[in-house]
């Protein structure tokens, strides 16, 4: 494939710095992820004519499929390795082999609430109150550094959660004096916790003293011609530096198509093509989900500086719409969301609190006063000023700094509706009633990604390779996923309730116990009587009756005449 002008122009912009690059095909799909110490040199090699003369069929097929590429600059090689592994797991490129499995990089964790805390290795970060360090790109280095840390601070490395005197009798760490043996009372728990906290500070990077000590011993051994010992100390020093090296924590990218390495650039492009006063820092996207008019729900996702802001996601279950009508559902969603938001902004400005429930609507007098306050506050302000902390982005468009989302409620800079003119008009009508017509609103149709704007009959078609369209796709796809997930949860809950509630011998507590154990009614049907009877609160007779009830329901559903 000849090098296009687009590829040639992009190659000239790639920096001579370490980072990760992503090759994409003409559909925007990521087909290969790689890392490099020098991005410019590495990416340019793919388009050298001499490389195409080889017999590597896989390489030639990859180059033929490359239509575009992106890159992301990092600080050092370990960061590039971590980011490469994350992106390969997210996108599953067909030309990559390594990192495609579910294996993750090593983490170190310690639970200070344990009776005798210990540092352990894990590959999964959980919300369990533990202190985590990592991930670490070099597993061998972190294992050796952990051994060094245990010896320096006399920390235990045994497996029991609460070791006792019987465990200490055969404890190698205690016999070698590597551990202070708090399990038999050699030190108190508070004294041992001080040792553990010293280890935490060590992992946080307070290693200057130990590094200087190892370096001095290494030089001393080299002068004494003890080169093997000097080499061991050199390797230990390198392991220590690798383990305590600060690396950036990369956010998970929950998208398959297309990829965004520079969300700020996409945000600026979107503001330009839509003619907004500035980049839309806060984007809110809406979607409707229902199945034949049942379980009608809506979702609202919030993007801050081109990235998902999941703490501000919202979901709605329709209250006034009783039949399938996407336009009415969108109108109700917009009305409930922004009447509440206007009230929250008004209350924030007057330091008053409203005790209304989630999704409630303001009274006409309250709403009129709130709209006047908000409109007066934002009258004449550009779109980028409608949310706090957005002004620095308008003034310094190229700044890589991303401010934290504002803690106070604020109006979005752009509203994205999943759908065409019908859904868009329904949303605009509700915003007009609320006095919020100054907020930019657009609709995105799925077929050709046409962008519909209020008062403009012809849609805006930018092409699938446009960065602004890619950002809108990510917002739309995330709102679609969030709405479908909520719909599926309601359907599953209804199915579970409708089956188990018909069994008279079970209450809410035992029903919840069954669902916690088996996860679903389908798995409960496959369980034996003995497995059901093992659940607390069940006896053999109740378990047998429940099993017979579920089997009878299966026979009724599979009967040809439905009886």
Output the pLDDT for position 353: 37
Q: How far apart are CA 102 and CA 285, in angstroms?
A: 31
450 vs 121: which has the higher pLDDT = 450
Q: Given its phi and psi angles, is residue 185 left (phi above 0), alpha (psi -120 to 50 degrees) or beta?
A: left
Output the pLDDT for position 170: 56
Residue closest to 273 by CA, chosen among 128, 149, 153, 442: 442
- Residue 228, SS3 per DSSP: helix
482 vs 255: which has the higher pLDDT = 482
Q: Are 174 and 168 in contact (CB under 8 A)?
A: yes
Percent of the chain scoring above 70 in pLDDT = 71
**Average of per-residue pLDDT across 349-369:** 44
Domain boundaries, the chain: 5-91, 106-243, 263-489, 501-558
Domain 501-558 has CATH 3.40.50.720: no
Report residue 334's pLDDT band, with 50, 70 and 90 as the boundaries. Answer: very high
List the single range of 157-171, 184-198, 263-277, 285-299 with lowest mean pLDDT. 157-171
* E-assigned strand segments in 182-293: 282-291
355 vs 279: which has the higher pLDDT = 279
- Is 90 exceeded by the pLDDT of residue 427? yes
- DSSP H or E run through 70: strand 68-73
List the single range of 142-146, 222-226, 247-251 with lowest mean pLDDT. 247-251
103-107, 211-215, 437-441: which has the highest mean pLDDT?
437-441
Tell me the pLDDT tens digit for each residue of 486-497: 877 776 666 555
Torsion of CA 404, 407, 413, 418, to 10 degrees: 100
Q: Which CATH class is domain 5-91?
A: alpha beta
Percent of the chain scoring above 90 in pLDDT = 16
Tell me the pLDDT tens digit for each residue of 280-327: 999 999 999 877 666 788 999 999 988 888 889 999 998 888 888 889
**Average of per-residue pLDDT across 87-114:** 77
Locate 512 and state its tokens. 């919840």
- Is 60 exceeded by the pLDDT of residue 80? yes
Tell me the pLDDT tens digit for each residue of 363-410: 444 444 544 544 444 444 433 333 333 333 333 333 345 677 777 778
Please, where are the H alpha helices in 51-177? Answer: 57-65, 77-91, 139-153, 165-169, 172-175
Taking the alpha carbons of 308, 309, 310, 316 in that order, is the dihedral positive or negative? negative
Q: What are the CA-CA distances from residue 471 to residues 385, 416, 459, 474 (Å)?
A: 20, 11, 17, 5
Pairing status of strand 106-110 against strand 131-136: antiparallel
Q: Are 257 and 480 in contact (CB under 8 A)?
A: no
345 vs 460: which has the higher pLDDT = 460
**Is the fold of 263-489 the same as that of 501-558?**
no
Q: How far apart are CA 347 and CA 98, in angstroms?
A: 53
548 vs 446: which has the higher pLDDT = 548
Output the pLDDT for position 519: 67
Report residue 52's pLDDT band, with 50, 70 and 90 as the boundaries. Answer: low
**Average of per-residue pLDDT across 207-235:** 75
Q: Are 434 and 343 in contact (CB under 8 A)?
A: no
Output the pLDDT for position 193: 80
Output the pLDDT for position 426: 94
List the single range of 49-58, 416-425, 512-521, 551-560 with lowest mean pLDDT. 551-560
- Is 70 exceeded by the pLDDT of residue 250? no
Output the pLDDT for position 336: 94
Tell me the CATH architecture of domain 263-489: 2-Layer Sandwich (3.30)
Q: How far apart are CA 120 and CA 4, in angstroms?
A: 51
- Residue 38, SS3 per DSSP: coil
Output the pLDDT for position 244: 59
Mean pLDDT of the chain: 75
């Amino acid at each position: 494939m000849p090098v296009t002008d687009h590829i040639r122009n992009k190659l000239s912009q790639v920096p001579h710095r370490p980072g990760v690059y992503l090759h994409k095909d003409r559909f925007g799909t990521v087909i290969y992820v790689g890392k490099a110490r020098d991005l410019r040199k590495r990416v340019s090699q793919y388009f050298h004519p001499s490389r195409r003369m080889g017999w590597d069929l896989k390489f030639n097929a990859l180059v033929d499929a490359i239509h575009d590429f992106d890159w992301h600059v990092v600080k050092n090689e370990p960061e590039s390795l971590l980011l490469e592994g994350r992106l390969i797991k997210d996108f599953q490129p067909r030309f990559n082999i390594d990192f495609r499995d579910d294996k993750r990089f090593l983490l170190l964790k310690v639970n200070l609430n344990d009776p005798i805390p210990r540092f352990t290795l894990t590959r999964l970060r959980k919300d369990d109150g533990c202190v985590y360090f990592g991930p670490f790109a070099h597993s061998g280095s972190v294992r050796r550094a952990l051994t060094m840390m245990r010896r320096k601070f006399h920390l235990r490395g045994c497996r029991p959660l609460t070791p006792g005197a019987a465990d200490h009798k055969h404890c190698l760490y205690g016999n070698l004096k590597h551990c202070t043996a708090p399990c038999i009372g050699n030190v108190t728990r508070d004294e041992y916790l001080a040792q553990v906290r010293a280890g935490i500070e060590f992992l946080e990077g307070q290693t200057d003293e130990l590094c200087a000590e190892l370096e001095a011993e290494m030089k001393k051994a080299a002068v004494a011609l003890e080169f093997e010992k000097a080499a061991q100390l050199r390797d230990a020093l390198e392991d220590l530096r690798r383990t305590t090296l600060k690396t950036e924590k990369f956010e998970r990218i929950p998208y398959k198509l297309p990829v965004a390495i520079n969300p700020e650039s996409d945000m600026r492009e979107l503001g330009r093509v839509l003619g907004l006063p500035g980049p839309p820092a806060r984007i809110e996207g809406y979607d409707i989900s229902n199945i034949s008019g049942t379980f009608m729900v809506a979702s609202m996702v919030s993007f801050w500086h081109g990235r998902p802001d999941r703490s501000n996601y919202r979901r709605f279950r329709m209250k006034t719409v009783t039949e399938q009508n996407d336009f009415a559902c969108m109108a109700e969603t917009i009305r409930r969301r922004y009447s509440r938001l206007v009230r929250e902004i008004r209350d924030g400005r007057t330091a008053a609190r409203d005790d209304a429930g989630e999704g409630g609507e303001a009274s006409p007098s309250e709403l009129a006063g709130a709209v006047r306050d908000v409109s007066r506050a934002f009258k004449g302000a550009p779109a980028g000023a409608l949310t706090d902390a957005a002004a620095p982005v308008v003034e310094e468009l190229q700044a890589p700094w991303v401010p934290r989302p504002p803690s106070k409620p604020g109006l979005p800079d752009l509203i994205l509706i999943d759908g065409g003119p019908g859904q868009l008009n329904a949303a605009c009508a509700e915003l007009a009633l609320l006095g919020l017509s100054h907020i930019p609103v657009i609709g995105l149709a799925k077929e050709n990604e046409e962008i519909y704007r209020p008062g403009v009959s012809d849609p805006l078609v930018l092409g699938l390779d446009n960065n602004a369209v890619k950002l809108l796709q990510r917002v739309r796809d995330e709102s679609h996923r969030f709405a479908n997930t909520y719909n599926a949860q309601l359907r599953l809950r209804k199915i579970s309730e409708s089956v188990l509630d018909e069994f008279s011998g079970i209450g809410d507590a035992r029903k919840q116990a069954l669902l916690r154990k088996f996860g679903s009614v389908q798995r409960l049907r496959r369980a034996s009587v003995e497995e059901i009877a093992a659940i607390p609160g069940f006896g053999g007779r109740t378990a047998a009756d429940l099993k017979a009830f579920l089997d009878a329901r299966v026979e009724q559903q599979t009967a040809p005449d439905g009886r």
